[in-house]
Structures are given as C-alpha cells and as structure tokens.
Amino acid sequence: MKKWTALLVILSLFVCSTTTMAHGNRGNHNHENACKKVEDRMLHSLKKVKDEKERAALKSKIEEIRKKCESDANQGQWSDQKRVNSDKNELQIRYTNNDYANVVTGPLMLSQLGTNGSIITWSSNKPATISNNGLTVNRPQDKDEKVVLTATIRYNQASSNKSFTVLVKSITSTITDAQKLAKDKEALNLSFNGTDTANNVTQKLKPLPAKGANGSTIIWYSGNASVISSDGQTVNRPAAGSGDSTIILTALINNNNAADVKVFTITVKQQVSDTQKVAEDKAALEIDFGGDDNASRVTRALDKLPTKGNNGSVITWTSSSPAILSNDGKTINRPALGTGDATVVMTAFININGTADVKVFVLTVKPSLTSSEAVSADKTELAIKFKDQDNASSVTQSIILPTKGSYGSSITWYSSMTSVISDKGTLINRPGRGKGDVMVTMIAIISSGSSADLKTFTLTVKQQY
C-alpha cells in the first residue's frame, strides 16, 4: 500500500470517528475543526503525488470527505426528534442462524444505540418465547408462534416506537420425518371406556387415533377381527366358560417416507352371567353430586343419576322423600332455615333380564342458608368463563359473567375500564398493535337479602397483532 493511501485510510477513519461526538454547538464546532485539519493534511499529501490517476483518485476522496464533513456538521444541528426519526428509519433486527423475520430459530441481535445517538430499548409481547433483549428464544413444541418486538427509540425527551413481527418456528417444523414419527409412536396409546383396562376389555374401545400430533398417519390392524374389529369399535366377548381372549392390535405409523409399527396386547374378557353383571354394575354405581356436594352435604340438585350400567343393566331410582329430593334428583326443596337437616334415601334398582339387586344411598339435605351464608358460598364458587383458548392472563374476546349464584345470590359486575371491557363483558376493545396489553379489574358484587360482598378478578386484554 502506498504511503499516501495508508494515510488516506487513517484520516478517513478519524473523520468517521468524530461523527458521533458532534452533538450540540460545541461538539459541532470541534467536528468542523477536525474536518478542516483532515482536509488540510490530505491537500498537503496531494501536492506530493505525481501520478495523474492517483491524483484523480485522491481528489475524489478529498471531495467525498468534504461532503461527509458538511453532512455531519448539518446533522449536529438536528433536533432531538429528527435524530430519533432517522434512527427509527434505519433500525432493523439482525438475525443469527441464517434466520429471517418469518423463520426465527435462534437469538436476535437488537441494537441498543442508534447511529445518531438515540438510546434504544426493546420489549417482547411474549417474553416467554423471545426475551425482551432477544437473546433467549424458546421455540414452541408443535405450532409456530408470532411475536411482536417493540423498540422504543429515545433521545433526550424525544421518542418514537417501531414494532417488528417475527415468526418463531416450532421444534417439530424443523425435525426430520423419522423424528416426527418417533415422537408420534412414543405418544401413541389406547384409551378405554368405563373401568376397562388393557387387561380387562369388556366393551368397545375409545376411537383409535388416526393421526399423530406431528403429522403421522396411523392405520390399525386386529389380530382377531372376530373378537375385536380393527377400529376397536366392535367387541364380541367370548362365551361364558370359554375363557378370555388375548388379542394383538397393531398400529402402522407413517410419516412421508418413514414408517414403523407399535403393538398393543389386550385381553377381551369372557362373558359373565346376569348375576355377575348386576353385581359388577352395582359395585361401580355412584351418584354424581352437584358442585362440591357429597352424600353428607346436599345443597343442590344432583348432576346425574345413572340409568344404565356398564354391563347393560337398567337402573331406576326412587326417593324416600320426593318432596325434598325428586326421584330423578333434578328437583330439590331444602328444609326451611332453622328446621335442621333432612335425610333422604335414594334407592337404585339394578336389573338385567329379571336378575336384580338394589343399592341404597343415604343423603343429608342441608337446610336453606342465611343470606350471609349464601353470599359467602356463592363468592367461593364464583368464576369467570372464557372462550376458546382465552384465560385471565390472555383475553382476546368477550367473557361470560354469571349473574346468579348456585345458592341464589344475585351478581352484578363492574369493569374498572369500560373502554376496554364493558360491565357485562360482552364488548372487548383490544389495544392497537404496538400499544401494549392492558390490565382490567372486573368487580363482582354478590348480594342476597341484606347481605353483600365483592370479589375481584384481574384480566389482561391482549393487544392486536
């Protein structure tokens, strides 16, 4: 490298290094002096260059540096907002792993300082997926996930925001077909109805999976279709006294060019006598109580009285006090306040082809609550219902607010921010993209007679994407 060329490079770097220092009048003045010294040095070097091509190149470079100095001098007079806007326009995310906005698998490089001196801070709308500094990326297991990264660019009191939407690729989207197949094979299992297990099959199986979570297709084959069909929906139990039947169910799993099998061994139980069937259905029979009720504390109608047993028995019910608790358990009239508990005997008649037995349940029906007790009980049970995948930490659509408690209390709702969630929860106005999530408190007033109480729920309404 010629001596003048090396000098030119050094001086050019010096000019560039002074750019970021030219903030304010004093900095701008210092920068102008530095530029003038560099230009003088270069003009002095020009006098020593004899070759015309080299002289032309050096003249061109001198002119380039002169314009650079003039530009930087003007920049030193920029307003704070102009600096912010310039840095905002230049700001981009830098990716690793050959990633880009629609394919993020590794850490992101997020600038902390703008070319014009702005300070840049970042926030992620899903920090569990991409951290605020972009250095931690937790890829979802099965489904790609959009993340919005918002940069706040600030210089003194001037500021502006810029948002970037990136797509974090799921782990399964980048694994091989063989790996997907292996995951689907590992997760594959049979599901049974009633109290059945693999060693005790008495009825059809729950639907056999036809597709794995990672896209594999699954085809089933029965080792003895006369006992259990390949889809598991038809079961012909061996005759009583002929013994149980052991069957092999084979799942053929395919994922594009990868294939494998998984084998399940099940035992289909031989048929039993009507007496045994009734005894089994009696042993399995239970009442489904409402809420947190149980046999010693009944305060509301029963959720369900079974009318059929697993072995096909017919079950009918009678109540010892139908005026208090109806035969079907759907109507309850609790004793008046202060009259004490009421004992009701629910009797189940279990019958198969004339073979019958009974099972008795002794229930204690509690008297009506005082207004204070009703409010307390309804407050304990009160909950907001959400739609689809929403929850208290992620609200994107209307919510369901109960207006009546199980114990008779009236419930009135108020929103701390009706512009975001209406009092009734039917209207949701999500913040615009880049505005950030909003926390709203829903207040429930629970009242019965002269008693009242309140219960609060804190909800996070997600910004639009």
Looking at residue 391, what is its pLDDT?
94
Residues 213-232 have pLDDT tens digits of 888 999 999 999 999 999 99
- Which domains does the chain carry? 3-77 (1.20.58), 83-174 (2.60.40), 177-271 (2.60.40), 275-368 (2.60.40), 372-461 (2.60.40)
Q: Does pLDDT of 264 surpass 60? A: yes
The maximal CA–CA distance of the chain, rounded, in angstroms, is: 123
* Helices H / strands E in the chain, number of each: 7, 14
Task: Pick 50 or 283 by higher pLDDT.
Answer: 283
* Secondary structure letter of residue 436 according to DSSP: -
* Secondary structure letter of residue 100 according to DSSP: B
Point out the least confidently predicted range of 6-20, 89-103, 379-393, 410-424: 6-20
Q: Tell whether the torsion through CA atoms of 264, 230, 180 and 388 is positive or negative.
A: negative
Q: What's the token pair of residue 384?
A: 């907001």
Q: Does pLDDT of 29 surpass 60? A: no
Helix, strand or coil for residue 263? Answer: strand
Angle among Cα 120, 124, 125 to the nearest 5 degrees reads 140
Q: Does pLDDT of 33 surpass 50? A: yes
Q: Specify whether the CB–CB gap between 199 and 267 falls below 8 A.
A: yes
Looking at residue 76, what is its pLDDT?
58
Mean predicted lDDT score pLDDT of the chain: 87
Percent of the chain's residues with pLDDT above 90: 66
Q: Dihedral of the CA atoms 456, 393, 388, 128 (nearest 10)?
A: -170
Q: Specify whether the CB–CB gap between 172 and 108 falls below 8 A.
A: no
Residues 338-364 have pLDDT tens digits of 888 999 999 999 999 999 999 999 999
Residues 232-262 have pLDDT tens digits of 999 999 998 899 999 999 999 999 989 999 9
Looking at residue 73, what is its pLDDT?
56
**Angstrom distance (rounded) from CA 449 to CA 461:** 34
Looking at residue 72, what is its pLDDT?
59
* Average pLDDT, integer, range 56-60: 75
Looking at residue 442, what is its pLDDT?
96
CA-wise closest residue to 254 among 357, 177, 169: 177
Q: What's the token pair of residue 165?
A: 């939407």
Q: Does pLDDT of 150 surpass 70? A: yes
